[in-house]
Structure 1
């Protein structure tokens, strides 16, 4: 086995002042609060059905639309747009992580990316008529920059929590995100249900809701930007020679980041269990993110449920997931993080297998399925983020979270691509297409089950928590 490189000094350890550390953690939680509205309101509820409807109205005589010279089924546009954003992330996110580690300016970089994404989301207000390509382009930009900002955000976790605290801190962040998303979605539900009384057309109300998610994201990002602090700059390696980060210009930082990306991928040979975890995570989280991203479209296209039912169910998910993230986090502390994640994957597999059997028009069945999703949703993601933090060699947090983030938070590539291909091939049959996601949960479970987590943590030069 390759020799494990020595870990850098613990310059990113939690702050010595407990009061200051608590304040910084609370500010860190607020970026989950700020950006989660993009997932709850834009991805999970409004954008998919709205973009699909625009594309269907613009379809030609053959029932297909033109996208970059290709003729596709209108229902496949949203899955393909999601896949396109992730295809860009495959290169951009690890490079962003390398830039963050290289320059040490994590807070500033997170803010820049957050505001690009927030303003792109606000731009969805102008997507109307036949402007489905404008909508797809703004979505790709917003999803790309959100994923990049979360790379930097996640890399603060090892700085803010000791190994035995990370499950708790990560779970609280996710819980805050679900609560924030639920509060704004509640307002969106009122706006949608009473749009006529407010003198608005339905499409106009949807565009206001999506734009307001961008405003919320921009406003609450101010809190972490005023409290989080940069701690250290990592050493960038290109090939085998370290570069001195203090001498880097902005252009050199960007150029060096791509060399660092290649080095990061090569260096995973020294941390084989970290690589195996990434494979497992990309598999099962692709399934999770695809379920989240297309649940509203599935309810619309396969079950014939109105958007009021969709919003109500997803709103319920946010409130239940708030408690679920905390409860599953507590179970992880008692039973072990890996074992708890595996249990949640069993639930996810059951959810996807049952979904095609739901009766058309049955809101009760849809709510019941959404409840089971809510219980495991936040906990699976929070514990995965926490577990991965133990497998990262110190000083490489942002660039490794860049690799991690490729399949995180609505950025599923393989799942959305598989769903898009299935929809294109079946003429938009969501009941058949959704079954393709089962394989992601099953394969992710198998890979994670055989992973030696404790050994991987020691290989990364970190302390193994009491329960993992």
Structure 2
């Protein structure tokens, strides 16, 4: 609903609704509470999508699929994650728009968190060979996780100004990586205990999933206690449902893309470089296990160190972004990504993987924090949920395109992971080229002119 209509009878006009979020400054406690959601949900993406469960799914749950068709298990994993992202691609902007109308982002965030926590815990019950059950639960948990990411990001423009948005976004991502470290550390401690008792992965991986769900539930609590909903409810016109109003708002937003060219150009840029990021997130453990022969403990230690590197990258990048500008800083981060993938392609030893992994960590923290902050700077007031729904749509599109490209190339190439990695490198190069066409000052000015 990026409308400039001023007619009082128009339900989307400034005269008809009072939609601007309350602009009272956020307290330090509230900013920490917001950032703690990144801390809480990072355990899910680190354990389920990146490190432990992805490798367990390919190597244990669905291993029989690879016996006759090499690469089939990896393809199925990427298809499951892509299906989840397709669902969020469609639902994210609609949920965001409805949340804007109802001023209920926090309510939707709570529901998505409960669903993610519950389905992650239930995933522990999917035994080796129960591929269908595992795929369904991974899909549900991933949908809930991604929906929560959209919703928590939509609070950012309400608690930060354009002057400190980069720093606050960086705080969140940086704290998030420490959340991933906490969950991974607990899992590693249990895995070491279990292997010392002679227990196999089909015992300790389910326990790790339960640990992940419990840590998520506990550490998300500050968010729901202290984060305020500043948006003002905007009841739809008579005879129009919340869903209808949400769909109409998204349609109106897309119809006014020409008024926000830099915002929509950057959304396209996000699709490209996040396709590479998403691929690394869901494939990293599989690549390290299948190509470089990492075992579970080695893999967890690697990801823990990478999380530390990513936390440093996110924290420092927030300051760089506010000082040097978002586009210049993001360009530097994408160049680090390109270097990291190039190192991984030439890797001949585990030392090479460690180098590539830590470069990825630095770049991961920078691009994740930077992309979210720049979207916040280009977002018109009172459209936070809606635009961050579109941001989520861009991320979800990327998370479909990137992993499926990798999975298909891997399947066609008979399990050749290095061939698949070339497509990932291409996404980063294309994203960098498009980024140079984004003018952030012009985009910020355009956002201020949209009602």
Is the TM value for this pair above 0.5?
yes
Which residue, 355, 358, 362 being the options, matches 2:347?
Answer: 358
Unaligned runs of 5+ in 1: 65-71, 237-242, 464-468
Given that residues 341 and 356 in structure 2 are in contact (C-alpha distance below 8 angstroms), is that contact kept between their aligned partners in structure 1?
Answer: no
The count of residues paired between Structure 1 and Structure 2 equals 440
Distance apart, 1:10 and its partner CA: 8.0
Distance apart, 1:55 and its partner CA: 5.0
CA distance in structure 2 between the partners assigned to 1:309 and 1:410 by the alignment: 32
Distance apart, 1:122 and its partner CA: 0.9
SS at match of 1:305: coil
Indicate the residue corresponding to 1:116 in structure 2: 115
CA distance in structure 1 between the partners assigned to 2:212 and 2:28 by the alignment: 28
More displaced 10-residue stretch of structure 1: 324-333 or 452-461: 324-333
Given that residues 89 and 406 in structure 1 are in contact (C-alpha distance below 8 angstroms), is that contact kept between their aligned partners in structure 2?
Answer: yes
CA distance in structure 1 between the partners assigned to 2:125 and 2:169 by the alignment: 36
1:413 aligns with 2:400: yes
Distance apart, 1:90 and its partner CA: 1.6
CA distance in structure 2 between the partners assigned to 1:432 and 1:44 by the alignment: 20
Distance apart, 1:234 and its partner CA: 5.8
1:443 aligns with 2:442: no
Mark the CA change 1:95 to 1:422 in structure 2 (over 3 Å): closer, same or farther.
Answer: same
Which residue, 241, 246, 265 being the options, matches 2:254?
Answer: 265
Mark the CA change 1:352 to 1:277 in structure 2 (over 3 Å): closer, same or farther.
Answer: same
Q: Which residues in structure 2 correspond to 1:56-205 (within 5 Å)?
A: 56-59=62-65, 62-63=68-69, 73-198=72-197, 200-205=199-204
SS at match of 1:194: helix
CA distance in structure 1 between the partners assigned to 2:371 and 2:198 by the alignment: 45
Given that residues 94 and 399 in structure 1 are in contact (C-alpha distance below 8 angstroms), is that contact kept between their aligned partners in structure 2?
Answer: yes
CA distance in structure 2 between the partners assigned to 1:354 and 1:462 by the alignment: 45
Indicate the residue corresponding to 2:9 in structure 1: none
Indicate the residue corresponding to 1:296 in structure 2: 285
Distance apart, 1:319 and its partner CA: 1.4
CA distance in structure 2 between the partners assigned to 1:187 and 1:407 by the alignment: 33
CA distance in structure 1 between the partners assigned to 2:338 and 2:416 by the alignment: 20
| 1:82-121 per-position Cα deviation (integer Å, ceiling 9, x unaligned) | 1111111121111111111011111111101111011111
Given that residues 271 and 456 in structure 1 are in contact (C-alpha distance below 8 angstroms), is that contact kept between their aligned partners in structure 2?
Answer: yes
Distance apart, 1:387 and its partner CA: 0.8
Given that residues 320 and 375 in structure 1 are in contact (C-alpha distance below 8 angstroms), is that contact kept between their aligned partners in structure 2?
Answer: yes
Mark the CA change 1:3 to 1:57 in structure 2 (over 3 Å): closer, same or farther.
Answer: closer
| 1:374-396 per-position Cα deviation (integer Å, ceiling 9, x unaligned) | 12211211111111111111111
Distance apart, 1:407 and its partner CA: 4.4
Which residue, 15, 19, 25 being the options, matches 2:24?
Answer: 15
Unaligned runs of 5+ in 2: 7-12
Distance apart, 1:248 and its partner CA: 8.8
Mark the CA change 1:365 to 1:155 in structure 2 (over 3 Å): closer, same or farther.
Answer: same
TM-score normalised by L of structure 2: 0.91
| 1:439-466 per-position Cα deviation (integer Å, ceiling 9, x unaligned) | 1111111111011221111111179xxx
What CA RMSD, in Å, does the superposition of the two structures yield over aligned residues?
2.4
Indicate the residue corresponding to 1:319 in structure 2: 308
